[in-house]
Amino acid sequence: MTDASLSTWVHRRAEPSWLGRLFDSKPFLVVICLFPAVGLLMTFLTYPLALGIYLAFTDTTIGRAGVWVGFENFTYLLQDPIFWNAVFFSVFYTGIATIGKFGLGLWLALLLNNHLPFKSFLRAIILLPWIVPTVLTAIAFWWIYDPQFSIISHLLIKTGLRETNVDFINTAWPARWSLIAANIWRGIPFVAISLLAGLQTISPSLYEAAMLDGATAWQRFRYITFPMLLPILAIVMTFSIIFTFTDFQLVYAITRGGPVNSTHLLATLAFQRGIPGGQLGEGSAIAVSMIPFLVFATLFSYFALARRKWQQGETND
Which residue, 48 or 227, is less far from other proteins as judged by CB?
Answer: 48
Which residue, 183 or 261, is less far from other proteins as judged by CB?
Answer: 261
Min dist CB 289 to other proteins, Å, is: 17
Which residue, 129 or 258, is less far from other proteins as judged by CB?
Answer: 258
Segment 10 to 49, residues that bind other proteins, using CB under 8 A? none
Which residue, 123 or 256, is less far from other proteins as judged by CB?
Answer: 256
Q: Which of 2, 114, 120, 164 binds other proteins (CB under 8 A)?
A: 164
Which residue, 225 or 284, is less far from other proteins as judged by CB?
Answer: 284
Q: How many residues does the chain have?
A: 317
Q: Which of 134, 165, 249, 298 binds other proteins (CB under 8 A)?
A: 165
Concatenating the DSSP letter of every residue in 66-132 gives --B-TTHHHHHHHT-HHHHHHHHHHHHHHHHHHHHHHHHHHHHHHHHHS--TTHHHHHHHHTHHHHS
**Contacting range for other proteins; rule: CB under 8 A; set: 61-69, 120-128, 182-190, 210-218:** 61-69
Q: Distance between CA 164 and CA 156 in Å, rounded? A: 9
* 63 is a site residue for other proteins (CB under 8 A): yes
φ/ψ of 58, rounded to 5, equals -125, 170
Min dist CB 306 to other proteins, Å, is: 40
* 278 is a site residue for other proteins (CB under 8 A): yes
Concatenating the DSSP letter of every residue in the chain gives --HHHHHHHHHHHHS--HHHHHHH-HHHHHHHHHHHHHHHHIIIIIHHHHHHHHHHTB---SSS---B-TTHHHHHHHT-HHHHHHHHHHHHHHHHHHHHHHHHHHHHHHHHHS--TTHHHHHHHHTHHHHS-HHHHHHHHHHHT-TTT-HHHHHHHHTTS-SS---SSSSHHHHHHHHHHHHHHHHHHHHHHHHHHHHHTS-HHHHHHHHHTT--HHHHIIIIIHHHHHHHHHHHHHHHHHHHHT--HHHHHHTTT-STTTT--HHHHHHHHHTTS--HHHHHHHHHTHHHHHHHHHHHHHHHHH--GGGGT----
Min dist CB 260 to other proteins, Å, is: 5
Following CA atoms 284, 287, 293, 294 in sequence, which dihedral angle do they give, to the nearest 10 degrees?
A: -120
* 58 is a site residue for other proteins (CB under 8 A): no
Min dist CB 95 to other proteins, Å, is: 23
Q: Which of 65, 128, 131, 161 binds other proteins (CB under 8 A)?
A: 65
Min dist CB 148 to other proteins, Å, is: 5
Q: Which of 30, 116, 197, 275 binds other proteins (CB under 8 A)?
A: 275
* 283 is a site residue for other proteins (CB under 8 A): no
* 175 is a site residue for other proteins (CB under 8 A): yes
The 122-161 site mask, x for binding other proteins (CB under 8 A), equals -----------------------xxxxx------------
Segment 235 to 274, residues that bind other proteins, using CB under 8 A? 255-262, 272-273
- Total chain residues near other proteins (CB under 8 A): 37
Min dist CB 51 to other proteins, Å, is: 15
Q: Rule CB under 8 A: which residues touch other proteins?
A: 61-65, 76, 81-82, 145-149, 164-165, 167-172, 175, 255-262, 272-273, 275-279
